[in-house]
Homo-oligomer: A and B are copies of this chain.
């Protein structure tokens, strides 16, 4: 049984805590938050769990084996470092850290101490993402042409991070999981309108072999959209995460250029066949992720969302931020 402490009991912390609580491999030992109001709610829901107001205590206590750091991103590095130094496995909310060098330092520290780092890229554990990965891996889509993601709605304005750091970690972590190639360069544009932080942004990522990825994130949209297109040589898919049932639609559509019969006559073949919506596993992602955390700790294996995955997402966010400041100038990775 792994004793775990959850640090930060705001919006996401209670969900993480609940999943630790109901896991048969983990024991929720402590909940920590500096706000008395948060602790009062926590103690009502978990009367038998220790309540702490000082994170230091949770991060250093000998009774704790692992900590889940579910706090604002600017606290991640210090909390994570202290936890690792004290021999604790860590679960860190995304984005992993504020800088890629912080991420590297944590990864190295964990390596030395043989500890597990898990970055909470929850979407990797959804049935939809697992299914898309399967369709890519088994060559159903064929060679990939593009990845095009939109995540917009009238979103909660943050006071410390812009829309890129708030929303794009979801999509970058998914892309990183699905596309097993090294991105080459990134270009980002965006705009702030209200409080100095960008509330909408666009990002293009260039991959080798003519693969291109694009992201649109926006806190100022009147409608909610959560749609990703993945275009392949053989098939193309649309993932609409707002659909209750058919989240993924695979289209037997494509274009093939078979040569040219002269300057003006391209021999283009268009293909349009059936559409197919595969059944998607409905298991709660967070539950599967907690199981994976317990397994990784028990067996010393690396989870799919390990520190390196967290590092790769932060590196893209860093580069995108630099490009954004220069209105889209290309940043090599």
Q: Mark A154-196, 1 if CB is under 8 A from B, else 0.
A: 1011011000000000000000000000000101011111110
Do A222 and B238 contact each other (CB < 8 Å), given the known contacts A214-B202, A277-B275?
A: yes
Q: Does A253 contact B (CB under 8 A)?
A: yes
Chain B minimum-CB-distance residue to A278: B274
Q: Does A50 contact B (CB under 8 A)?
A: no
A236 CB to closest chain B CB, in angstroms? 4
Name A159's contact: one of B210, B265, B272, B274 (CB within 8 Å).
B265
- Kindly list chain B residues whose C-beta atoms are within 8 Å of the C-beta of A328: 187, 189, 204, 323, 328-330
Q: Mark A215-248, 1 if CB is under 8 A from B, else 0.
A: 0101111111000010100001110000011100
Q: Which of A301-333 contact B (CB under 8 A)?
A: 323, 326-330
- Kindly list chain B residues whose C-beta atoms are within 8 Å of the C-beta of A187: 187, 189, 327-328
A220 contacts B212, C-beta separation under 8 Å: no
Q: Which of A248-296 contact B (CB under 8 A)?
A: 249, 251-253, 255-257, 260, 263-266, 268, 270, 272-279
In the bound assembly, the distance between CA atoms of A229 and B220 in angstroms comes to: 10
Q: Does A25 contact B (CB under 8 A)?
A: no
A229 contacts B238, C-beta separation under 8 Å: no
Q: Does A46 contact B (CB under 8 A)?
A: no
Question: Within the oligomer, what is the number of copies of this chain?
Answer: 4
Name A157's contact: one of B157, B255, B329 (CB within 8 Å).
B255
A212 contacts B190, C-beta separation under 8 Å: yes
Q: Does A123 contact B (CB under 8 A)?
A: no
- Kindly list chain B residues whose C-beta atoms are within 8 Å of the C-beta of A255: 154, 157, 194, 219-220
A245 contacts B212, C-beta separation under 8 Å: no
Do A148 and B245 contact each other (CB < 8 Å), given the known contacts A236-B222, A265-B159?
A: no
- Kindly list chain B residues whose C-beta atoms are within 8 Å of the C-beta of A77: none
Chain B minimum-CB-distance residue to A146: B200
Do A191 and B212 contact each other (CB < 8 Å), given the known contacts A154-B270, A329-B329?
A: yes
A257 contacts B223, C-beta separation under 8 Å: no
Known: A159-B265, A191-B206, A252-B279. 15 other contacts (CB 8 A): A145-B191, A146-B191, A154-B272, A189-B206, A189-B328, A190-B212, A191-B211, A195-B257, A204-B327, A220-B231, A221-B236, A222-B231, A223-B251, A245-B275, A274-B276
